[in-house]
Amino acid sequence: MSTQASTLDRLQRLTVIYRQGYHSDVVDRTLQKILALENAQARQELTAIEVRLVAFEQEYQMSSADFAQRFHAGELGDGVDFFEWSAFCDMAESLRQRLQLLQTKAA
């Protein structure tokens, strides 16, 4: 079993026993710390990517949002810089989505 599958299995088992009424302060604190660490790491990664995005925006005098729209519409050609910029835009969006999930409070 892969590490990822093993981790998912463990999380699912915890979910099942918590839904059955189990509670552990240790598990609660541990999960809170894990989420905080993941949040901090994602923020750090996003900051580094945003620095790269700003450099592209300054070089090409357009926002990343405008670039993405024009690039995906085929208006900008297929230069290496544009593919790199597009990849950074995708990574930034993925990190923003991850941060949103990490910061969502349970109902």
pLDDT of residue 104: 76
Is residue 49 assigned to a domain? yes
The total domain count for the chain is 1
Q: Is residue 80 part of a domain?
A: yes
pLDDT at 1: 64
pLDDT at site 46: 98
Please check whether residue 42 is in contact with residue 95, taking contact to mean a CB–CB distance below 8 angstroms.
Answer: yes
Predicted local distance difference test score (pLDDT) of residue 107 = 46
The confidence score (pLDDT) of residue 105 equals 66
Domain assignment of residue 79, yes or no: yes
User: Is residue 2 situated within a structural domain?
Assistant: no
Q: Is residue 70 part of a domain?
A: yes
pTM value is 0.82
Domain of 70? 28-103
Q: What is the DSSP string of 12-47?
A: HHHHHHHHTT---HHHHHHHHHHHHHHHHHHHHHHH
Ranges of residues in the chain with a pLDDT under 50 are 107
41 vs 99: CA distance, rounded Å: 10
> Would you say residue 9 lies in a domain?
no
Residue 61 lies in a domain: yes
